[in-house]
Structure 1
Amino acid sequence: MSDRSSQAPEADRQPAPKKEVAIALTQEGKRNQVQLADASRQRVHELRALARKQKRAKKAP
């Protein structure tokens, strides 16, 4: 039998650090990214407004 006590247990192992990768966007990619960001901001705005409306309705007698 081999002695496995010298090997580090899996819990003690740390994953290799992730490398950051920069990707150059094309003009179309930049436009898509801007559109997605705008749509996301708009959706957040709508959801917050809806939450405020629901909160007011809940407080109303």
Structure 2
Amino acid sequence: MADSVRRFERDHRGSRVLSVERMQSDGRDVNRIKAMDDRGRVRVYVDDPQRRPPPRRAPTRDDHD
């Protein structure tokens, strides 16, 4: 859940997280983030950690040989 909040804060500068909760959606665990945007509107975002692409790996020396 903390990763979802960090990612949200990085991607939505100026928004303030009001609450976060884990919930089920279609049999999957998702994180529901309620936040106030920079205009004062409350928005709800859903982050599905299982659908995120895997983190990109930095190339190593062996990748270029």
TM-score interval for Structure 1 and Structure 2 normalised by the shorter chain: under 0.3
Q: Which has the higher contact order (CA 8 A, sep 6+)?
A: 2
Rg larger in structure = 1
Identify, as 1 or 2, the structure richer in helix. 1
Query: What is the TM-score of this pair, normalised by structure 2?
Result: 0.25
